[in-house]
């Protein structure tokens, strides 16, 4: 009888501790890291393209109600593309040419997030964020120097689902994917003839090639 009482009490304390991590009045601090890569080739491997992208995003949030948090993120992202092309003359392979493009951006993203309990230590959450970014695009010129081509500003609302695991009372491990996003980009070309333009894009569907892994501290 005493053994059953001790086990029941221990389970109750564990359940309350795990639920307390997303209770009203708590804070979370942490961040996430995202990484994606892709490679393609064409023309019997005479042309190839490899791109690599990563993001670093620290954040802070506050629970205004149980399982409901608001906060903001800071973000830095970089995307690098390497192109190689082999020239042919009269069917004879010539020299390879290489080009590099790089884009760097900085931003801020206010967010709201709601958690749903799955088990005592595992929760599902949905997050809506409003991202504002600014950055530059560079490319390598004939002399091998990286020069700035464009400056741009992005506006992007997005919805991302995720899972969070609480291995301890204070720490949380997150794993999320983009689901729905809309992006509007305005940019100005600063090399050569100056011009301004804007683009719009809409994305829907889980992008398993661009996951984000995060680690948060709740207190």
Per-residue model confidence as pLDDT tens digits over 117-147: 998 889 999 999 999 999 888 777 666 677 7
The H-assigned helical ranges of the chain are: 2-20
Contact 6, 13 (CB under 8 A): no
pLDDT at 51: 82
- The separation between the first and the last C-alpha atoms of the chain, rounded to the nearest angstrom, is 35
CATH number given to 1-218? 2.40.160.20
Collapsing DSSP to helix, strand or coil, 206 comes out as coil
Counting as low any pLDDT under 70, the low residues of the chain are: 1-20, 41-48, 84-98, 141-144, 190-194, 205-211
**How far is residue 154's CA from residue 184's CA, in Å, rounded to a whole number?**
6
Range 92-129 burial, b when 16+ CB lie within 10 A, else e: eeeeeeeeebbbebebebebebebeeeeebebebebeb
Rounded Cα distance, 71 and 31, in Å: 12
């Amino acid at each position: 009888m005493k053994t059953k009482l001790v086990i029941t009490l221990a389970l109750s304390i564990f359940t309350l501790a795990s639920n307390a991590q997303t209770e009203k009045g708590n804070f979370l601090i942490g961040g996430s890291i995202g990484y994606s890569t892709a490679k393609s080739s064409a023309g019997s491997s005479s042309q190839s393209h490899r791109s690599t992208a990563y993001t670093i995003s620290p954040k802070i949030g506050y629970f205004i109600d149980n399982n409901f948090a608001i906060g903001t993120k800071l973000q830095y992202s970089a995307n690098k593309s390497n192109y190689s092309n082999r020239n042919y003359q009269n069917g004879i392979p010539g020299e390879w040419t290489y080009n590099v493009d790089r884009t760097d951006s900085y931003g801020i993203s206010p967010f709201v997030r709601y958690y749903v309990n799955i088990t005592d230590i595992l929760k599902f959450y949905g997050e809506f964020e409003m991202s504002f970014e600014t950055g530059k695009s560079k490319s390598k010129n004939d002399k091998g120097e990286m020069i700035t081509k464009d400056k741009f500003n992005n506006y992007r609302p997005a919805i991302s689902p995720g899972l969070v695991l609480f291995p301890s009372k204070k720490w949380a491990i997150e794993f999320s994917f983009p689901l729905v996003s809309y992006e509007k980009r305005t940019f100005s070309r600063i090399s050569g003839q100056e011009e301004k333009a804007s683009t719009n894009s809409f994305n829907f569907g889980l992008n398993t090639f661009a996951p984000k892994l995060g680690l948060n501290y709740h207190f």
